[in-house]
Structure formats: structure tokens, C-alpha cells
Structure 1
């Protein structure tokens, strides 16, 4: 048997529409894929018939049919592990695809480093727009190899099972399997078991997996159903299993890293949307989160960034308070932003006025603010918007306990970034101090015609880079201020233009543009469709 051949395990359930594309991406890898095992989790749509025809037409395709639906992804993946006939394993979901040459790249990387597991970059492709967002890109900047992940604990942030190649014998000899049945976030548990087994892990910066995120189809994956409190309960339950695995492994550093990762990543993902949830959801989320986090090691909290420590301090130190939620959501943004009011002083910066004591709450000190590098100071830049033939952005940079004044902001560079292509228009200006207001002001203007794309609907996200006295630049998303209104006008040549500055769910500024009658019609048709759905 050729040691450089893999089995690709594709799992599917009621996905006749997409499974052929997934299998085709696996077959297109070439001879390095010896077989594609498709595990059908008792589909009730046309999937069995589609797979029957595929198996008859493709010699490398084998179909495993489960008699009853498992309710999750773990059991069918385990069936794939058992059915595989080749030394290496790759997992693929039926609504995603493997990148071209993905298996070849992973096998070559594993061979160069004699690795048990090889991991590559995954990109999230938003459909139908086609926008691609790298997953945990900071972990895949260069090729590297690691004997276990203890020396690189940030690896725990990569909780995906599908962007990796596994030596099958490594999984079998360590009895590493996915949780069975209707377990959600099964990837969390599986990857924790892999990491706790101390594999020789090779990493490549090449893209190997394309994760399709389909909006508006009613087919959101479990990880995107964050409006349901059960989703958070499932995520916390899975993380508790991760902590148990790390604790049982005896590796204290990995246990701490898993706890810190939860504070840095999992909590803020949900905090960003918490102000928009119902009071019942908010109360349940607060209770579940506190119960889970309150038993974390103190060292895990000390290893977290200042913003993560402050969010956790509010969670553990207060009952759920509606007034805190918008500020917590901003502090949970990426990068974090601490919005006013700023209580206390630089010697003892506080989350809010000690007036919270009237609610029986303790003071929450923003520890580490005075010493944090300016790049980690969660300062706040907002823009008031003026619209017309030109887009006018009036920037306001608020001081933060004297830290901004000490750093000395000098220049501002605003970038309007195309949401899909990443192309940017840049505008430079200087900051003007407003001492009475403890803030700085700057103004940039943009020609709206430069933002048009010939009858298309285009969205631009606004970012600002603040350059300080020492020359250090720090980039932040530009937050939305006043002046958010939709403008429709007719140009001199009869061209219709729709310009809509708006605040995203996280409070950041974006600008939607449609030019020409066709573009405006698309906007109006989309709004009508949303009203009908409601």
C-alpha cells in the first residue's frame, strides 16, 4: 500500500444539492486520494439516489449508509475512520470543498517533517458574495513543525477538524474519535483529543479547505445559530469536555491555554450580539457563562489581554445590567474598543463610576491600562457622516485616561475597504486637538463616484489608522457616529445614486453604494424581499 495516499471522508445529510461538488473537489486532488468514502447519515431527500449514481460512475467513491440519523457530525465521521483503507485521512463536509492540491500539499508537508498531523489554512467563503475570510490566519503564516502543541499553545485556537491530514494509525492507536450522537461542536472535542495526544504537528500556510457560509438560505451551520441559547449551552458543554481532556492529559499549560482561549475568543463572539438578544436570552447567557468561567484558574485570566480581563471582571463581578451590554459588545469587538464614560483616573481607571455601588456592585478596575502598549489600548475613534456629492467623515478620537494624550496622535489615514475584494481608497489628514473636550478632530472627504461599480451594490467598510508621535501606526475599525441616513440623488447626466452610511451589528461604520437605475432597483428589491420574509 502506498504510504502517500489518503482517504477523504465526506459526511452528508439531506444535501443532494451540494454533495457532488464536495466529492468532485476530493476526486480532483488526483492520485494522492485513493478513495472518497461518503457517509450518508440516513438522508431522507434525494441524496441516496445521487450517491448511488455517483458510486456507480466513480471507481474511487464508496458510500456508507447509516440506517438511522445520528443527529450530529461525529458518528458519521467515526464511520469514515473505520471504513478508510489508506494510511492518511482528510475530513470534508458535503457543503464545503477542498482547495486545489490541498491533499498533495498536506501530504508533502507531513512527509517533510515526518508528522502525525498536518494542518493548513481554511478560508470562510461567504455566499453568494464570494467574500473570503481566512480562519485563524495568524497560525498559518509560515511552514513549521511542532512536537506536541505545548510549545505553541495558540494552536488551540484552531478547533477545526477539516483543515488537517491525519495519520490513521495515530488516531487508532490513541483511540481518538469524535463524540458520538447528537453532540454539537464535536470538532472542539476531537481536536482537543488530538492535541492532548502530543502529535508531531506540521503546519503549512497554503489554503487547503474552503468553508462555505451560506447566508439567507435557512441552512446556517450550528456554529452560526448564535441567536439560540441552546447553541451557547452546547458550546460551553463542548468546552468543558476540552478542559477535562486537557486536565486529564496532565499538561497544565494546555489547560490554561484552553481557558484563556475561551476568554479571548468564545466569550466575545457572543458578547458582540448580546445587546440585540431578548432579556430572557441575556439572563440565561450571563448565568451559563458565569458558572463556566468562575472556576477558571487565576493564571488563565492573568495570561489574557487587558480587554479580555476587563470583560471577564464585569461578567463575574456584576449581575446582568442592560446599560453594560453595549460597552461590553464594543469591548468584545476585534479589535476591542472601550467606549465612554471613562471613570476614575489613570492611576485607578474604572469600568464605571463607583455609582455602581448603589446597586451593591464592587468597583471594577481596568488593570493593566496604564502599562499596556498603545497598540493594546482599546481607544475609540468615531465618525460623524455628511453625505452629498462628496462623502464627508468628521473623525473624533477620545482620550482614554491620558494614554492618547501621552502618545500624541498626529495623523489619521481612513481606508474605505471593499467588503468582497479588499480594494481600498485611502485618505490622509492631520488631527487637531480639542483640549476642552479631551479629544482630537480630523476631517476627510471622498468623491462618491469613486465608490461606484457600474450598477452594482457595493459595500465599503471604514477603517482608520492613527499614527502617533513616535511614528507607530495603530489601525482600528471606524465606529459609526451621527449622520447615518440614506441619500438618493440624480447626477448631472441623469445618473441615479444611492448612498447609505450605516452602523454594522458591532457599531462600526460601513457605506453601501448603488449607482444607476439597475443598482438602485436591486437595493429596493432586496428591501422588499426582506419585508416579505418578515
Structure 2
């Protein structure tokens, strides 16, 4: 937490934007007003809502002089235009943005304002957390940037700033935005944050970073209208994302910020390409072809230095896409895109012996696997889980990787299931010795019994398998496991239970191919799992933008 040096009264405008979000907009506005006297005004821009949102805001404003409501007469179709309206209407020296379905945590404005004032920074930024609802599970966004207080005299001195494309976890000097004419793209422009953030960084501000939580991003995956960052089922979403990334690169390069521009391309490979590649198998053939074509067109502008800056998984996936005109190797790409990454067999070599993606794509090198530390290698582990009344067992198979595994000497594997909604809750499966599957097989196998009592005690829940591989050379690798499919695998099984009557176990593969396990004790628990599953299959409409 930043040391308290006092904050000025009435120095911040908070711009809240919303469209047809009557269920949440007042909570967002109240969280801004609750920031205290530093907030001069909250400007709520209603983007021509039809669900009564504007009326709720007007009623709230009647009793709150710091709240101003701006009602648009035509829906803009996105987030950029209403935010620009807020910039135009702001009267305070500083401003920040808030979406109608999110909240500012207590003390957020003061923490950012203190940092901006102390360091004479045009921009102050803090930690955003993604809060899954209704579970409440929180995941920090770009936590490495906000691990401790810091000052960047210029964005180029901290290139990782390019990875934080959010506009909402930051405080901006109003005159800085206006002097540099920094605005959001107008109308329906998905991923408007990408372009706005690039414009901010291109202007070369001094930035103050604080470890304080300054924004809570609510993620409602079961909402009727998914935010566009969550609704990736249509290929237009990818088209919009590549266009936003292209514009961000051009803005940075046009400002002479070549290092930041390269970092933006590295971020695209590491984040966007991996995220969408994990889900590509879920789409139909026409979507895959369109995605592949769009990606090839976007990556055609990259040069070798752009690829070299990106971490290996995204770089390799991109090179496979560029090397093939048609979609290929999707299951293997999905495993490589996982976090942690898994490089599954086959392990091909070029005629000279160098590791390559495949015999027919020798132009895609995998030489990084020969030099990276073992703790960072994309080791592949297969997992089989067969629920049985007489005893459930977890079978793990570790694959060789161009001689690196045998060289390190596999010894043991520790397995645990981690609660999906509360990562602090773990069920340890146990530790087993890794033994050669057979002479010369290039694999090592371990089998562990799985007790279900601790899993069932948490109620209906989803558990993710986590592994720690230990080697004779003292190294270790934390990873996940590829979920093996086949007869009797990845199917729902009802087991008798003395305590619960029935226990429903469902091993399944996540979007990235990792083994996970749904557990539902008792008839009610099983019914709850089925209801949640059904809700995910029901059609939804997408929100205008996020």
C-alpha cells in the first residue's frame, strides 16, 4: 500500500458508462461516489438504454450532487463513444473510467491520486482483479507489473506496460489526454482499449504504478449478454481483435516507439494467439479456415525480430500457421497453447538433427527445447482417470523430449486436485515413482489411487489436476496433464457412496486439453451440475463491447 501523504479534495472525475445494465449500474456509481472527497464528480453516460437504467441514474442523481447523468439519444454500439463523452464533460484535473458492471474497491482513487501527485505522473495505474461471479474467485490482471510501487519515466523503459491494455485501472491527467487528443475509437469498435492504451503510451507519459487493488472486473459467464472479450465464438471477434492489434502497433511505430511496437506484437503472439488457438477445436470447419486465413494475413507483416521477442509457445504456433495454408495439427497446437505449455509427440528432427515441429514443416524450429531450463520445458504428461466403485486410479505417462527428460532422470510425480473456484483448496492425491513404461519406450509411468472423500466434502465442484515432476538432477517442473480419451474415459460415472448415497464423477478435457474433474455428491449435487451444464449450452447474445 502506498504511504498516505494526503489527497486533494475534488480532483477526480469518474466516468461510468453503461447500456441496458439496470441490474448493476447503480452499484458501479455508488462504488465511485464512495471513494470520498477526492471525487469531484461522477459522470454516468447512459448509451440510450431501454431497460430503465437512465431512470435509475436520474433518481440517484436527485439525491447526490456529485452525480451527473449524460443521456445519449442514439446508441453508439460500443464503449468508445460514451467514454469520449465523459472526457469532454469532465471538469476535474484527473479522470478515470468505470464500466457499469464493475466496481471500484475502497481507496482506489486515493491510492492512484497519491502516486500521481508524488511523482508528477500523467498516468497512475494499479492492480485490476478479475472476479468470477457468482463464485467470487479472483485472478489478478498482469500482476507482475503491479508487484511493488514503481515509476516509469517513459513507457519504453517498462515495455511490459504494453501488455496491460485495460483503460479502467488507471488515473489520467485530463489535460494530458486533451493536449495529445487521446480518445477512444468511435462507434462499434471492439477492443477499443487496445487503441486508447497505445495512444496513451505513444504520448510518452511518466507513469506511476502501485500494488493497490484499484479495479474489480466482474466476469459473468452466465450473463444473457456476454462482454465481447468473453464472446469469442464468432470469427468477427478475432477479426476485430487483429484489427485493434494492428492499429495499436501502427500508433506506437508512428510515434517512433519501435521497442514498444515490437512488444505489442510479442504480446499478440503470447496472449491472443495462444488464447484463441486453445479454443480452435471447438469451432466448426468454416470458422477454423476463416481464423487461419485472418491470422496468416495478420502475421504476414511480422519480421524475424518480432517473432524472436515472443515466448516460444506463441511463436511456434504462429510459425505453424504461417507455414501451412490450411488448418492443421489443431490438437497439438491446443496442447502447446495451454498454460503451462505442453509439447506433445511426435518429436521430429530436421535432416541435420535439429528439433522441428514435424517432418513436413522443418521450417518451424523447436531448438529452444534444447536450451531452456527443465523447469520451463513444455513437458507432456498424459493422464487417464477411470472412476470405479472398487477404487479410482490416476495413471500418468511422462514423455521424453529430445533427450532432455532422460538426461535429467525422472524420479517422482506429485499429484493434487485444485478447486476451480478457490485455488487455496487442494486435495493431494499423493506421490508416486516414475518408472520406464518399457525398455526404449521413451515414456515413464506412475499410478496413484484417488480417494474421493475429500473431493466430495467440498460439495458440487470442479477440480483441476496439478502435477510436480521431480528429477534426479534436483530440478522440478510444475505442470498439468493432457486428458486421454478412449473407451471408458472422460465419461460421467455414478458411484455408490455411504455418506452421500451417490457420487457423480466426470473427468473431462478443458479447452486447453488438460484433465479436470467434476464432482457432485448426492442427488441434489448431481442435479446442480447438470443444471449448470445446461445453462452453458443455452444461446446468449453478446454485449455491445467490453
Bin of the TM-score, shorter chain as denominator length:
over 0.9
Other-structure match for 2:523: 517
Q: Deviations over 1:457-511 (max 9, x none)?
A: 1111111111223322221122212532222122235632112111112111111
State the Cα distance separating 1:107 from its structure 2 match. 1.4
Distance 1:84 1:485, change over 3 A: same
In 2, distance between residues paired with 1:293 and 1:528?
38
- Residue aligning to 2:331: 326
- Separation in structure 2 between the aligned mates of residue 378 and residue 170 of structure 1, nearest angstrom: 44
**Counterparts of 2:313 and 2:448, CA distance in 1:** 30
- Structure 2 match to 1:30: 36
- Distance in 2, matches of 1:371 and 1:487, equals 43
- The equivalent residue for 1:408 is 409
Matched, 1:49 2:50: no
Q: Kindly indicate whether residue 479 of structure 2 is the aligned counterpart of residue 476 of structure 1.
A: yes
- The 1-side partners of 2:176 and 2:493 are apart by 60
Contact 1:154 1:257 in 2 (8 A): yes
Residue 143 in structure 1 maps to residue 145 in structure 2: no
> Aligned match of 2:343 in 338, 341, 366?
338
Q: Offset at 1:53? A: 0.6
TM-score, normalising length: structure 1? 0.94
Encode CA deviations 1:120-169: one digit per residue, 9 max, x unaligned: 11111122222222212222211111111212111111000001111112
2:3 paired residue number: none
| Distance apart, 1:391 and its partner CA | 3.7
Partner of 2:4: none
Where 2:114 maps in the other structure, the secondary structure is helix
1:152 matched residue in structure 2? 158
1:256-313 Cα shifts (integer Å, max 9, x gaps): 1111111111111111111221111111111111111111132111122222222122
Structure 2 equivalent of residue 367 of structure 1: 367
1:425 aligns with 2:427: yes
Q: Secondary structure at the match of 2:87?
A: helix
2: CA distance, partners of 1:25 / 1:294 = 45
Where do residues 199-218 of structure 1 align in structure 2 (5 Å cutoff)?
Answer: 199-218=205-224
How far did residue 363 of structure 1 move? Answer: 4.5
SS at match of 2:139: strand
Task: Name the counterpart of 1:460.
Answer: 463
- Are the counterparts in 1 of residues 198 and 248 from structure 2 also a CA contact under 8 Å? yes
The two structures, once aligned, show a CA RMSD in angstroms of 2.1
Structure 1: unaligned runs, 5 residues or longer: none
Alpha-carbon distance in structure 1 between the residues aligned to 2:293 and 2:36: 51
Q: Identify the range of structure 1 (338-347 vs 434-443) with the bigger mean alpha-carbon deviation.
A: 338-347
Structure 2: tracts of 5 or more residues without a match: 1-6, 541-546
TM-superposition CA deviations, 1:360-408 (whole Å, max 9, x none): x664332322122223321101211132365421111000111111122
Which residue does 1:438 correspond to in 2? 442
Give the deviation of 1:175 after TM superposition: 1.4
- The number of residue pairs the alignment matches comes to 526
User: Secondary structure in 1 aligned to 2:370?
Assistant: coil
- Could you say what secondary structure the match of 1:485 adopts? coil
Distance of 1:450 and 1:82 partners within structure 2? 56
1:378 equivalent in structure 2:
378
- 1:489 pairs with one of 495, 505, 509: 495
Distance verdict in 2 for CA 1:135–1:63, change over 3 Å? same
